[in-house]
Structure 1
Amino acid sequence: MQSVDVAIVGGGMVGLALACGLQGSGLRVAVLEQNTPVPVDDNAPPQLRVSAINAASEKLLTRLGVWSAIVARRASCYHGMEVWEKDSFGRIAFDDRSMGYSHLGHIVENGVIHQALWHKAQQCADVTLMVPAQLQQVAWGENEAFISLQDGSMLTARLVVGADGANSWLRNKADIPLTSWDYHHHALVATIRTAEPHQAVARQVFHGDSILAFLPLADSHLCSIVWSMLPEQAQQMQNASEEAFNQALCVAFDNRLGLCSVESERQVYPLTGRYARQFAGHRLALVGDAAHTIHPLAGQGVNLGFMDAAELISELKRLHAQGKDIGQHMYLRRYERSRKHSAALMLAGMQGFRELFAGENPAKKLLRDIGLKLADTLPGVKPQLLRQAMGLNDLPGWLR
């Protein structure tokens, strides 16, 4: 039977970031992942699932030694952001120069981030990647957790980390209650070619019943779109002819970048908000989507997960250095308090934002427009909003 200090269930971006961050701490780490990653082909078209990596996540990935590998492949740096409401005067714009930054973030394919972290984890002496590994059972003992896999092998760990996604098997196994709500929206994702160059600006437009984001990719005429709309609308747009889809997209986007043409398949997935009542328990911690999922309207999902990993790295290193038991719930409470607070703020912010921008009520529309206008023009508001979006208000000490 193999024995480790930390068993991370799930080898996605957040689980791997945690594993890489614990390298050199003296803790033995195992990552249990069901599927062997599929290599990203640099000559293939961009993948549909992308993330907007903010400054905080960039700092973490730099400290883990993978950022240069990510940027060397396919990452698109963006220098501006624009948000507006269709058919109105409400808009807000940010640019890095005027705010004193070199850039605002990067749009990166999830596969590129994942592959860089996987390669890094393979090089870490303290990390064992177990793949394919399918969990069969887990039992939490007084001093360690016992994990049995479907191939019959067993593993003990002082701490088990659930990084196994939104439908976390481990969270369910631990009977951690989950608060979840349906956003009554589906997201359509696709890659779009635009007639005019995107100029490295991320753009988002609100309609009464939909939100459309254009995220700039490395090719100056390619954008990844996330179009969040009513489920029946999303289905309709997924099945529409290319011509009808392109036309609807141009209209929805106020023709900001000239004619748009879809260059990929169109994928649709439902949007659900989730918040675990506990982020930690006896010999258990949750990170990333296993702990929380949010609306993609601000592209903050993976950034929130990366900060969970950053906070847990710092806590586990501290506890281990002080000779404390890393699996005791009373010691994990510090991590739990800090990350529950950040996730709750983000979820509440997204929910408020979504409700404010939903519907065509004229009074509400006027309120939105005035709000956007004031945020754009009042001194001191934009820098605060930008710091929040870049994750700079929420950094664990070791990344500052």
Structure 2
Amino acid sequence: MPSSSVSPCSPDPSFDTDVLIVGAGPAGLSLAVALAQTGWRATVLEQQGEGALARPAPDGREIALTHPSVATLQRLGSWQRLAPHEIGLLRQAQVHDGPVGRGPGMTLHAGGTGCDNLGWIVPNHALRRTAWDVAASTPGVRILTGCSVTRVSVTDAHAELDCVAAQGRQAPPQRLRAPLLVAADSRFSATRRQLGIGASMRDFGRTVIVCRLRHEAPHGEVAHECFDYERTLAILPLPDDPGSGTPQCSAVVTARAEQAQALLALSPEDFAASVQRQFGHRLGRMHLVGERHAYPLVAVYAQRFAGARCALVGDAAVGMHPVTAHGYNLGLAAVERLARVLEGACAQGADLGDAARLQRYASAHHRHAWPLYQGTNVIVGLYTDERPLPKLLRRAVLAGSSRLPPLQALIVSQLTGRRPAWPRTASSP
């Protein structure tokens, strides 16, 4: 969809667009919509074809969304395009150490937060589809699909990139210029690298297997995180099958690479039975629905989130381990922060690519993301360490959580995205 030659915010017609965004994942598309709603023109470039973006295939991943993230999606208009059977409620979460039910665990709920539930669970492919639907129909957003970005650079005056058709590399590249360029092209971002921005990476040496399972007993909209000593299992409650009404859940199995390969080699029946046993048969008999999908676990944190005429959002900025379910929510938080900074530039007629202005976004996002990133990595290290001392420590943490309401309130605040409601003592006013 072509964009207008001049935007309400930027009257300079010499640029092809106001913001170049590399990557048409949910973060890139959501940013484009947020900027267009402000008045900027946004051009999104993506290597995948239009069909894969408009009708993404299920990839096994289910995304836990916080209350602020849902509010963002509602403002953008993509939440309203989800089907009812794609929206699951997360009312409670339980954390188990070792075999399920053998020792004390931790139960988390939204009580005292002013919320009815901890959050929502939505399939990743549904979020991708609805982000495309909104972006493709938003005036001011231009999406170039099936093209590969071969070069990016920034100068004092502008940012620019060269792109070619993914299937036609013999053709001369097209050059686009804008005041600002944003990388939103995955945690292994080639754009980030070309901008000269490094990143610290932590390879956990593990693989995550995700899939859907039907089961006999209702899940009660309760999620479970089971830290077993050989592998981690998460059970996420999903809406009942819209056709049969059968209860469904998402299983997330994290294991060493060789063990993951052995699990993937099992028959669907044996794999479902393996999950059923690890979960202590709490949901009755389980049956695999669809395919199993495997992903290597690598966490990424960019050395900086912005510079002169460039910024990073989504996994290009921070790629999280999925155990605390913060990755997608951090991406949407980055979209909100950057959009607000650029909205201020629009109101003041300021330069979009001003380094000082972009640093406001970078600093705010770092203050939010860094504690979550480091805390998540500490949790992963603690709950995957099979030595005796870490085992004792995590048992003490879980056992003590029930006697430390402030600790529970802090954890719930991270799950809901709301500030903690600190429990009052008898002496509190």
Could you state the TM-score of these two structures normalised by the residue count of structure 1?
0.92
> Which residue does 2:163 correspond to in 1?
149
Q: Secondary structure of the residue that 1:261 maps to in structure 2?
A: strand
Q: Which residue of 20, 27, 30 maps to 1:17?
A: 30
Deviation of 1:341 after TM superposition, in Å, equals 2.4
Mapped to 2, the partners of 1:192 and 1:239 lie a distance apart of 17
> Which residue does 1:222 correspond to in 2?
248
Q: Secondary structure of the residue that 1:3 maps to in structure 2?
A: coil
Q: Which amino acid aligns with 1:383?
A: A
C-alpha distance 144-10 of structure 1, shift in aligned 2 (>3 A): same
> Which residue does 1:289 correspond to in 2?
315
2:251 is equivalent to residue 196 of structure 1: no
2:90 is equivalent to residue 69 of structure 1: no
> Which residue does 2:278 correspond to in 1?
252
Q: Which moved more, 1:367-376 or 1:70-79?
A: 70-79
Q: Which residue of 125, 130, 150 maps to 1:116?
A: 130
Q: Which residue of 354, 360, 366 maps to 2:380?
A: 354
Mapped to 2, the partners of 1:364 and 1:345 lie a distance apart of 21
Q: Which residue of 212, 227, 235 maps to 1:206?
A: 227
2:60 is equivalent to residue 48 of structure 1: yes
Q: Secondary structure of the residue that 1:30 maps to in structure 2?
A: strand
Q: Which amino acid aligns with 1:385?
A: I
Mapped to 2, the partners of 1:278 and 1:333 lie a distance apart of 9
> Which residue does 2:268 correspond to in 1?
242
Deviation of 1:379 after TM superposition, in Å, equals 2.6
C-alpha distance 156-276 of structure 1, shift in aligned 2 (>3 A): same
Give a deviation string over 1:345-400, Cα, whole Å, max 9, x none. 11111111112212333443232122112223323332221111222259xxxxxx
Structure label with greater radius of gyration: 2
Deviation of 1:97 after TM superposition, in Å, equals 5.0
Mapped to 2, the partners of 1:240 and 1:377 lie a distance apart of 42
Q: Secondary structure of the residue that 2:405 maps to in structure 1?
A: coil
What is the 5 A alignment of 1:124-143?
124-143=138-157
C-alpha distance 64-147 of structure 1, shift in aligned 2 (>3 A): same
2:317 is equivalent to residue 321 of structure 1: no
> Which residue does 1:92 correspond to in 2?
106
> Which residue does 2:331 correspond to in 1?
305
Q: Which moved more, 1:90-99 or 1:278-287?
A: 90-99
Q: Which amino acid aligns with 1:233?
A: Q
Give a deviation string over 1:213-270, Cα, whole Å, max 9, x none. 1111111611111111111110000001233322321221122212222222222121
Q: Which moved more, 1:342-351 or 1:376-385?
A: 376-385
CA RMSD of aligned residues (A): 2.0
Q: Is this contact kept in 2: 1:8–1:163, CA < 8 A?
A: yes
Q: Is this contact kept in 1: 2:21–2:184, CA < 8 A?
A: yes
Q: Secondary structure of the residue that 1:84 maps to in structure 2?
A: strand
Give a deviation string over 1:107-134, Cα, whole Å, max 9, x none. 1111211121211112221211222232
Q: Which moved more, 1:32-41 or 1:85-94?
A: 32-41
Q: Secondary structure of the residue that 2:249 maps to in structure 1?
A: strand
Give a deviation string over 1:151-205, Cα, whole Å, max 9, x none. 4322111000000111211111112111111111110111111121111111110
> Which residue does 1:273 correspond to in 2?
299
Q: Is this contact kept in 1: 2:59–2:293, CA < 8 A?
A: no
Q: Which amino acid aligns with 2:75?
A: R
Give a deviation string over 1:66-113, Cα, whole Å, max 9, x none. 212225451111211111112442311123356542221111111211
Identical-pair percentage: 32
Q: Is this contact kept in 2: 1:209–1:359, CA < 8 A?
A: no
Unaligned runs of 5+ in 1: 395-400
Structure 1's consecutive aligned runs of 4 or more residues displaced over 4 angstroms after TM superposition are: none
Q: Which amino acid aligns with 1:216?
A: P
Q: Is this contact kept in 2: 1:7–1:159, CA < 8 A?
A: yes
Q: Which amino acid aligns with 2:378?
A: G
Q: Is this contact kept in 1: 2:153–2:195, CA < 8 A?
A: no
Q: Secondary structure of the residue that 1:17 maps to in structure 2?
A: helix
2:418 is equivalent to residue 392 of structure 1: yes
Q: Which amino acid aligns with 1:299?
A: A
Q: Secondary structure of the residue that 1:245 maps to in structure 2?
A: helix
Q: Is this contact kept in 2: 1:235–1:268, CA < 8 A?
A: no
Mapped to 1, the partners of 2:380 and 2:364 lie a distance apart of 25
Mapped to 2, the partners of 1:352 and 1:366 lie a distance apart of 15
Q: Secondary structure of the residue that 1:101 maps to in structure 2?
A: coil
> Which residue does 1:397 correspond to in 2?
none
C-alpha distance 273-203 of structure 1, shift in aligned 2 (>3 A): same
Deviation of 1:209 after TM superposition, in Å, equals 3.2
Q: Is this contact kept in 2: 1:5–1:27, CA < 8 A?
A: yes
> Which residue does 1:178 correspond to in 2?
199
Count of residues in Structure 1 that have an aligned counterpart in Structure 2: 391
Q: Which residue of 392, 396, 417 maps to 1:370?
A: 396
Q: Is this contact kept in 2: 1:73–1:112, CA < 8 A?
A: no
Q: Secondary structure of the residue that 2:179 maps to in structure 1?
A: strand
Q: Is this contact kept in 2: 1:319–1:326, CA < 8 A?
A: yes
Mapped to 2, the partners of 1:13 and 1:341 lie a distance apart of 23
Mapped to 2, the partners of 1:177 and 1:311 lie a distance apart of 22
Mapped to 2, the partners of 1:311 and 1:37 lie a distance apart of 30
Q: Which amino acid aligns with 1:19?
A: A
> Which residue does 1:379 correspond to in 2?
405
Q: Which amino acid aligns with 1:104?
A: L
Deviation of 1:33 after TM superposition, in Å, equals 1.6
Could you state the TM-score of these two structures normalised by the residue count of structure 2?
0.86
Mapped to 2, the partners of 1:310 and 1:147 lie a distance apart of 25
2:174 is equivalent to residue 160 of structure 1: no
Q: Which moved more, 1:350-359 or 1:86-95?
A: 86-95
Deviation of 1:17 after TM superposition, in Å, equals 1.0
